[in-house]
Structures are given as structure tokens and as C-alpha cells.
Amino acid sequence: MSGLHLPQRIRSLAVEKPDAPALTCGETTVSFGELDRRTNRVATALAARARAGGRVGTLLRMRLEAAETFVGCAKAGLVFTPLNWRLTPGDIGAIAADADLDVLVTQREFAALAAAAHAALPGLRVVFVDPESSSDTEPDSALDWDQLVAAGADTDPGLGADPEAGVLHLFTSGTTGRPKGVVSTHRNLHNDPAGLRIYQWQPDSVALNAMPLFHIAGAGWLSTCLSAGVHAVLLGEFNPAAVAHLIERHHVTHAFLVPATIQLLLDLPGLDAHDLSSLRLIAYGSSPIAPHLLRRAMDTLGCGFVQRYGMTETTGSVTALAAADHEPEGERAHLLRSVGQAMPGVELEIRDIVTGERLPAGHTGEIVCRSRNNVSGYWRRPAESAALLTGDGFLRTGDAGHLDESGYLFVTDRLKDLIITGGENVYPIEVESVLAQHPAVAEVAVIGVPDHRWGEAVTAVVRLADSAAVPDESELVAFATARLASYKRPQRVHIVDELPRNASGKILKRDLRDLLGQDGAA
């Protein structure tokens, strides 16, 4: 298996096995030869509408046009920038402006978001992949996808070999709640043979990709599958019934899922009526998994499991708990609580949170890592970029944990207040800022509380203003829902007489977590 960058790999696969299926979405399947030819046209068409090295945004579910845009950008020396279609129009407008997009490829269901991006960037060229007629919200200069592809040339632009050129621009929330751009280069994104071996690919492997493209889990898994030369089946949004159907129909052997989607699949009524025997391996990550859920999944699905730990800033995984390490019984059963060992080429250390000194095995501190997959910093955020990396080039993950004597990493806590719910990142300050606008709210603290389905539930603890009419939980939830992306809204609200504080007046969120208990019930 070649160690080429993504666009070079597509070119080589078009020669090695031109008729082999590359991507399937719905009733359409394209071969590696067809994918190579189509992405040449996409690449040249996008290059004609973007600045050299410019950014092409998308508001797309996981679908053929999304994959073709990704590869086309890589071939043209452009930076693929998938945007989170779950955000509000205001968020999308700000992110589009921050990324300084040249082109936006979108579905018409996200027309309002595309309009917000165009309002922030009046020169933005918008391309719709849907065949429906235009609406009043669409800019006059908008193109249809077929028009874009037809305008391209069959000649390959030939770019994508420079390891330091940007190829993928994702956005992740920062500690202030402002989205931060993370640009991965070809060197960062590169899938080498050593890293691909963890998945135990075979010539007949078929991979399911049902993760959002705007997450490193979705974009990274797509890149991994294409680099491995396996047939990938694309699903626009996770739906447990659709997943079970696609596994059975296409004899899916591999999938990447987050714990929340594993839970949804296991809870699907009539799951045992589907033939899922083709499954060989499920990779999982993006948020912690409850031990009982993992054991249930292993028993129910009867396939191998590989856990991955990483983040957008590391362009995906830095550790892996291999399938052979998933032993629910015996002396190695404790490894199921770990996230595995460092991936090939990754240096992993635990450092004292205060001094930065390297700590020995068994001692808890901040998890730091150094590898070619680490990005160099944040897009247009010099201060935050400086804080991300240590002087000797290690990336601060913001997570606390320890290594055992065999190099297995155990993540024990987050140093930051990040909440991961259903694989989505939520920073409390953004939710707190919205709830604080309610006239009855004097103070609010938002935390993540363990949840059997979502990993963590966004939970607000509120002290009411004096003499305020007492709102019920549903009123506060509705207030936040109208102002936030759906996954950021609090799922639970608790009203208290006072919030716990330390001597300096800082709210003690750890005390709140202890107060609410393991199930969020006060």
C-alpha cells in the first residue's frame, strides 16, 4: 500500500484498479477511475473560481459531491473547508468571513446558512448541488453543481505533492466559545501504511462513513478509506435503521462511530432481524465510552473494536486501543478503560500541569504529544497558537491522564470545561452567555453530566434574580434553544439558591458535578 498523499493516492488507484468501486451514495456508485476523472473536472473548475491556495467551503452532508469537492480541492492546491450545518446563520457568517472563503458548495436545505455566508462575503461564489429551482435567498451568481463540473477540464492540475500545503480547514470551539480554525497540511493528513494497519483492511473491505464531514472524524475517516483504496458507503446523517440497512445491503466490514451512535444502533428495535455478520471492525472515538456500552456492543455486534483518541489539532488520532486489546475478561480487562498506545510516529508524554516537567508512569498530568500530524497552530490566532504548543514542539491536549508501564494511556479528566455530547463539542461559556440574557437569571454555570446515550448532557445550574418570577425548566430550555445550535441547548436545568465558589469567587464546577451526581439528579 502506497504512502502517497490523498490526491496522489487517488491518481495511483485510478491506474491500479480503475473499475473497483470507490464511493457509493444512495443508488450511485463511482469507481476509482471515475472518481479520478470527475475530480479533475471539479479541481479545474474550482481553481478557476478561487485564489491560488484559497478556501472552498461546504455546507454538505456526507455525499458524493462532498467527497469530490474534498479530493478536487486537494488536486487543485485549494483548502477544503467543511462548515457545520448545525450552527446558526450568524455563526456561519462569522466563520465564513474568518476563513475568507472563495467558493461555497451547499445543499438547498442549507440555503439560509449559505445566504448568511454570502452576506458576510459578497464576492463568495455559491454552488448548489441540488437540482431544484432557485429561491429568493440564492445569490444571482449561484451555479448548479452540474454547471460547475461541466465547466472544468479533464486535465489534472497535478498539485497536492507539497507536504506543507494546507488541505483541510476545520473549525473547533475555543475556550472563549469562539470557533477557531485548524488547518491541516498534506503532511498532517497523510495516511501512511503503518497507521492504516490498525484497521486490518482486506481486499474486499467496505467501509461505512456516516460521520459529519465538518468533524475530523468524518473528514479523516473519508481520507483514510480513500487512501486505503477501500469501497466507502456514504450516509448523509446518522440514522440507526439506515445504518443497519446499509451494512446488510453492501456487506459493510468497517465503520467509524461515536459512542452515542453505537448506543442508537444497539437500541434500534428489530436490530436482530438485520444480517450484520459482515462487520469485522468498528473504530470508535470522539468522546468517552461507558464500559457497559462497549461490552454490550462487543456482545451484540460480534466484531472487533478499535478505540481512537485524538482531536482536530492532531488531525485525528494519536493513540489506538487495538482490537486485540479489547478483552472484557481476564487480567487485561482493565485496558478497556484506556485509549490505547501511541500511534506509529507519535511521542506521548504526561507533564506536570504547573511546571511542565515530564512525569513518570502512573502519575497524572496533562497529556501532550508530538508528531507530524500536529498542526502548527490556529488560523489567525497567534496568541492561542502560542499557547497550544510547548517550546519543544509538543501539543497541549488540555486533557489530564496517565500512562502505565506499557505505554497505555488513561484519560482521567479534562483540564478545560469542554463538554462532549453526542460527539459534538460544546463550551459552557457560550451556553452561559445565552442563559444569562434571560431576565430571571442572575447567575448560571453550565457543566457536562454523564449521560448513558449522549456521553454527556449539557446541564445548566441557575441562581435566579431576586424577586424574579420563577421560570420552569422548559421555559429556560426554550429560551436557549431559540438562540443556540440544537446540540448546544441545555438538556437539563437546575435552580439553586447559590452557586459554590472558592475564596476568589470562582464558581466551583467540580462541586456542581459532585452535587448533581452521576445521573444528573440533584
Domain 32-186 matching CATH 3.90.850.10: the answer reads no
Predicted pLDDT of residue 175: 39
pLDDT at 430: 82
Answer yes or no: are the C-beta atoms of 320 and 189 closer than 8 Å. Answer: no
345-416 belongs to CATH 2.30.38.10? yes
DSSP 8-state symbol, 288: -
At the fourth CATH level, the homologous superfamily of domain 419-516 is ANL, C-terminal domain (3.30.300.30)
**Joined grid coordinates for residue 61:** 452532508
Q: Beta strand 125-128 with 143-144: parallel, antiparallel or unpaired? A: parallel
Residue 201 is predicted with a pLDDT of 97
**b/e 435-471 (16+ beta carbons within 10 angstroms → b):** beebebbebbbbbbbbbeebbbbbbbbbebeeeeeeb
Q: Would you say 339 and 410 are in contact if contact means Cβ atoms under 8 Å apart?
A: yes
Sketch the domain layout of the chain as residue ranges: 32-186, 191-344, 345-416, 419-516
Q: Distance (Å, rounded) from C-alpha 395 to C-alpha 389? A: 5
At 163, phi and psi to the nearest 5?
-65, -20
Residue ranges, the chain, pLDDT below 70: 1-3, 133-137, 140, 173-177, 413, 416, 468, 502-506, 517-522
pLDDT at 301: 97
Euclidean distance between CA atoms 182 and 9, whole angstroms: 23
Residues in the chain, how many?
Answer: 522
Contact 79, 56 (CB under 8 A): yes
What confidence score (pLDDT) does residue 353 get? 86
Q: Which CATH class is domain 191-344?
A: alpha beta
Q: What gap in Å lies between CA 386 and CA 245, rounded to an integer?
A: 47
Phi, psi of 165 (to 5 degrees): -80, 140
Place of cell 470507490: 22
Domains 32-186 and 191-344 share a fold: yes
pLDDT at 174: 45
pLDDT at 173: 59
304-311/281-284 β-pairing: parallel
Q: What is the pLDDT of residue 192?
A: 87
Cell of 511: 462541586
pLDDT digits (tens, 9 = 90+) for 236-257: 999 999 999 999 999 999 999 9
What's residue 514's pLDDT? 84
